[in-house]
Amino acid sequence: MTRDAQRAKVYAAEEFVRTMFDRAAERANPVVDFFGTQLTLPPEARFGSVDSVAAYVDDVLAHPAVRERWPAATPLRVRSRRGVTAAHYERAGAAATIAVPEGRSVWALRELVILHEIAHHLSDADPPHGPEFVAVYTELVGAVMGAEVAHVLRVVYAKEGVR
């Protein structure tokens, strides 16, 4: 596997975007000033259980835009992850799984994080957070959450030096 050289930059950019969503939710106002432009952020799904994440993952993979763009996408299992606070994607042969820390870390049980893990499944890129992954994640977020969120990601990735 190739060194995952831009992983920290990708995570920093995505943390910035999640913080934008958090602040908009705290203010109960989806309109944000984004580098001099007002954008309206869509609501971000939050999950309460592994089962609700699994249902969401199934819905995303069945979404017409996702099926059209990634017709060879295989099923993706979701399981509980113990002892850690991060979500995680794993592949063992043909079986692919997202592990989420049920009840331990609410930050991982949110739409942007789950879409990040689904993007790993759809891109299966090497390095894991390289340009191919970034393109897939941005496109997936645009298809599922909307063009505004994809735009925000593209701009923040560029600002962080993500390729």
Q: Which pLDDT belongs to residue 1? A: 66
DSSP secondary structure letter of residue 74: P
- Single pTM value for the model: 0.95
Q: Which of 82, 126, 108 is nearest to 11 (CA)?
A: 108
- Tokens found for residue 132: 């191919």
Ranges in the chain, pLDDT < 50: none
Q: How does pLDDT run across 66-90, given as a tens digit for each residue?
A: 999 999 999 999 999 876 678 999 9
pLDDT in tens, 35-50: 999 999 999 999 989 9
The encoded tokens of residue 5 equal 């050289």
Count the neighbouring beta carbons within 10 Å of the beta carbon of residue 33. 8
